[in-house]
Chain A
Amino acid sequence: MRVLVMMSGGVDSSVAAALLRDDGHDVVGVTLKLWGGESDSGCCSVSDVDDARRVADTLGVDHHTFNFGDAFTEHVVGPYADDHAAGRTPNPCIECNRHIKFAAVSERAETLGFDAVATGHHARIVLRPDGTRRIQRGADSAKDQSYVLHMLGQDQLARTMFPIGGMEKSEVRRLAAGLDLRTATKPDSQDVCFITKTRGRGSFLGDHIPLTPARVIDTAGVAVGSVPAVELVTLGQRKGLGLSGGEAPRYVVGIDRAAATVTVGRGADLLVSTQAAREFAWTARPVAGEVLVQCSAHGGPQPATVATDPTDPTDPTRVVVRWRTPQRRIAPGQSLVAYEGDLVAGGGLADGDFLLAGRV
């Protein structure tokens, strides 16, 4: 098959390209140019492009660079800022997967005559007896990236490959070293590629949206502190609230942007029995029974059922998650992914609506 492998310049995608080549595929590597601004890691810097190109040279595969900067700004960076302004907590890596890697790039690959796209994600794609495809957690549970890939549907899964998903990270590095790939010992990138460590999220957002100072009160209404920007505060947040220590941990349990007020309370104040989600989609078909729902990239999955929002049963993308045991509220905008065992069943975005109805 002709496979376009997205090479970020990291070790995982380097080995993904090598494995595809060794399996006899007609492989072309591509590095995406997504962000023209400051970056200290991520997918876009010239040195990462150099690493990807040199790995491709070593493997004897062609390497190209595609510029999806406009699409990235429109679908990832812009919404990242807008979401914060609207009080949501977005996951830009998920939006990049949703709109760029497995949409714009995948579509271009199809136009260019490729049978599939591949990446170095730690996840697997499995074919079920019923003929549907599902994402399975990566074999290396510490590196599993199925959460950020939850949005891939049947059409995309049929044209996508994750060659290293069945391997431990140590095995990936061992293979890279064996192939003498220059990325074999390169550190993993962790952070949002368009935000630098030195300047940070607050400084980045300050360039894009107005930041509003807010006062911090407790659940009795007593002022206990202040924060420089309500837009940077996330539901459930514990640190960085300027609170004096000594007492039991206090969490953000409420954010009133209009009143520029952040309310802090006990962890128990966050507990709810239900959680609303929007833009929810099932990978194959709806699961009526209990699933495991995970709410952050490496969070613990919790048993719950997922059902269409009873207040609007005509919209299958609006759902209510009913926890088996009460869980903390999820910051609006965070992804909420349902698993059956270690298979992704579906996912959507946490919504802030009708939370009171679910309050324990």
Chain B
Amino acid sequence: MPHAYLDHAATTPMRPEAVAAMAPLLGQVFGNPSGSHRWAREARRHLDDARDRVAAIVGAKPAEIVFTSGGTEADNLAISGVVAVTGGLAACSAVEHHAVLEPVRASGGVTVAVDSLGRLDLDALEVLLGAGPPVAVVSAMTANNELGTVQSIGAIAAVIERVSPSTALHTDAVAAAPWLDLASHTAAANLVSLSGHKVGGPKGIGALVVRKGTRLVPLLRGGGQEQERRSGTPDVAGAVGFAAALTANAALRQATGVQTEALRDRLARGLLAAIPDAVVMSPADAADRTPATLHVCFPGVDREALLFLLDHAGIGASWGSSCSSGATERSHVMAAIGVPDALAAGALRLSLGWCSTDADVDAALLAVPAAIGQLRSRSAVSSPVPVVFGGRP
């Protein structure tokens, strides 16, 4: 049975460059970078190098990079950290990842409407900033994890600059990082969240870019590492793997993007040809989205049953994100862009990655229409159980 992994937006295999870069840090290089001896200095050098490389790719200064345990911690630090300084309101787009939505909600913040593609409604933002109580931070993702929609962080920054210049702008660039030039796409944000494992690095590492002049209170207090912004012994190996992955990703990004767009195009055309009533929720125009994500809804199909059949057929996919017990829940993203629940119930997210191939697309083009066909033919012949159960000897 051919296996095809089409859930790269959930996580993607580690790039060999990252694995190779980490190897010494998982062995002989073990020092605590905060110490004052040769072992510490060696570890510190690796950590500093990693910080330099991440900074270069996101267009920041090394001192502006705060390594975290991942995207979720970076998002939490950005929202809670800024709100704790000023006491103002937190606001975010209605399609943010839960790692942003939940700290915004917990702080008593508000969500701002989006358009049908999932981009922040700038008029609504302007009303919020101009009329209500002071807003400490606005968070809007660079690219949406379910749809792939890319929005202009610069345009959002322009509204803030005009209406409420003291408001900080945070962008979750976790889903954008594999596909977009981070330096240009996130330049206008005061705070930028990144995650290692989405770009072919290890899990458990991420970063928050904190531009000079942006004040925030740390979530984790202790030894004062990461310039008093994130205490705890740094994950040097993780940072090194993250930096290596991000560097490899940046070097190959344009070529990979072209190939991925071609794969996605074939996937989308093939699915729509086989299943004409499928509704693509991701933006049609390549300029409005990443080249990797194809979100599509199949009317009358149950997404949970669809994922089950695809798994059985060797296809790894998802509909968006998962709750902790592994059960699927309603998508707030579908609700926010105005997709009726009945249609969202048939959602499928296929996401490509740096190592996706034509064979993956071929497998999906066989398996998805077959699964949809099976789910729609309610005439599946049922045969009775041929033996008597219960009376085991």
Tell me if A124 is interfacial: C-beta within 8 Å of chain B: yes
- The residue on A at minimum CB distance from B387 is A127
| Bound Cα distance from A31 to B391, whole angstroms | 25
Q: Nearest-CB distance from A74 to chain B (Å)?
A: 14
Task: Kindly list chain B residues whose C-beta atoms are within 8 Å of the C-beta of A155.
Answer: 382
User: What 1/0 flags go to B374-393 for Cβ under 8 Å of A?
Assistant: 11001010111100111111
Q: Are B325 and A163 in contact (CB under 8 A)?
A: no
- The residue on A at minimum CB distance from B389 is A161
A-B contact pairs, 11 of them (CB 8 A): A46-B324, A62-B311, A67-B304, A111-B378, A111-B380, A112-B312, A113-B309, A124-B389, A136-B391, A165-B391, A167-B392
| Bound Cα distance from A66 to B382, whole angstroms | 21
Given contacts A111-B380, A113-B380, 20 further A-B contacts (CB under 8 A): A1-B385, A31-B325, A44-B325, A45-B325, A66-B304, A67-B304, A67-B328, A67-B329, A69-B327, A112-B308, A125-B390, A126-B390, A136-B390, A155-B382, A159-B382, A160-B385, A163-B390, A163-B392, A165-B390, A166-B393
Task: Kindly list chain B residues whose C-beta atoms are within 8 Å of the C-beta of A167.
Answer: 392
User: What 1/0 flags go to B1-15 for Cβ under 8 Å of A?
Assistant: 000000000000000
Tell me if B305 is interfacial: C-beta within 8 Å of chain A: yes
Task: Kindly list chain A residues whose C-beta atoms are within 8 Å of the C-beta of B305.
Answer: 108, 111-112
Q: Are A124 and B391 in contact (CB under 8 A)?
A: yes
Which A residues from 2 to 55 make CB contacts under 8 A with B?
Answer: 19, 31, 33, 44-46, 49, 53
User: What 1/0 flags go to B351-393 for Cβ under 8 Å of A?
Assistant: 0000000000000000000000011001010111100111111
Task: Kindly list chain B residues whose C-beta atoms are within 8 Å of the C-beta of A31.
Answer: 325
A159 CB contact (under 8 Å) in B326, B327, B385, B392: B385
What is the number of residues of chain A that contact chain B, defined by CB distance less than 8 Å? 38
Interface size range on B against A: 20 to 34
Tell me if A115 is interfacial: C-beta within 8 Å of chain B: yes
B interface, CB within 8 angstroms of A: 302, 304-305, 308-309, 311-312, 324-329, 374-375, 378, 380, 382-385, 388-393
| Bound Cα distance from A271 to B302, whole angstroms | 50
Task: Kindly list chain B residues whose C-beta atoms are within 8 Å of the C-beta of A126.
Answer: 388, 390-391
B389 CB contact (under 8 Å) in A33, A44, A108, A162: A162
Tell me if A359 is interfacial: C-beta within 8 Å of chain B: no
B385 CB contact (under 8 Å) in A49, A64, A115: A115
- Interface contacts (Cβ under 8 Å), in number, total 84
| Bound Cα distance from A166 to B383, whole angstroms | 24
A33 CB contact (under 8 Å) in B308, B327, B390: B327
Tell me if A140 is interfacial: C-beta within 8 Å of chain B: no
| Bound Cα distance from A159 to B385, whole angstroms | 6
Q: Are A116 and B325 in contact (CB under 8 A)?
A: no
Q: Are A125 and B329 in contact (CB under 8 A)?
A: no
| Bound Cα distance from A38 to B383, whole angstroms | 39
Tell me if A65 is interfacial: C-beta within 8 Å of chain B: yes
Listed from nearest, the 8 A-B pairs whose CB atoms lie closest are A124-B390, A33-B327, A158-B384, A65-B326, A165-B390, A67-B327, A166-B392, A65-B327
Q: Nearest-CB distance from A156 to chain B (Å)?
A: 11
Q: Nearest-CB distance from B357 to chain A (Å)?
A: 25
Tell me if A309 is interfacial: C-beta within 8 Å of chain B: no
| Bound Cα distance from A136 to B391, whole angstroms | 9
| Bound Cα distance from A33 to B322, whole angstroms | 13
- The residue on B at minimum CB distance from A135 is B390
Tell me if A123 is interfacial: C-beta within 8 Å of chain B: yes
Q: Nearest-CB distance from A32 to chain B (Å)?
A: 8
Task: Kindly list chain A residues whose C-beta atoms are within 8 Å of the C-beta of B389.
Answer: 124-125, 161-163, 165
Q: Are A111 and B327 in contact (CB under 8 A)?
A: no
Tell me if A279 is interfacial: C-beta within 8 Å of chain B: no
Q: Nearest-CB distance from B240 to chain A (Å)?
A: 32
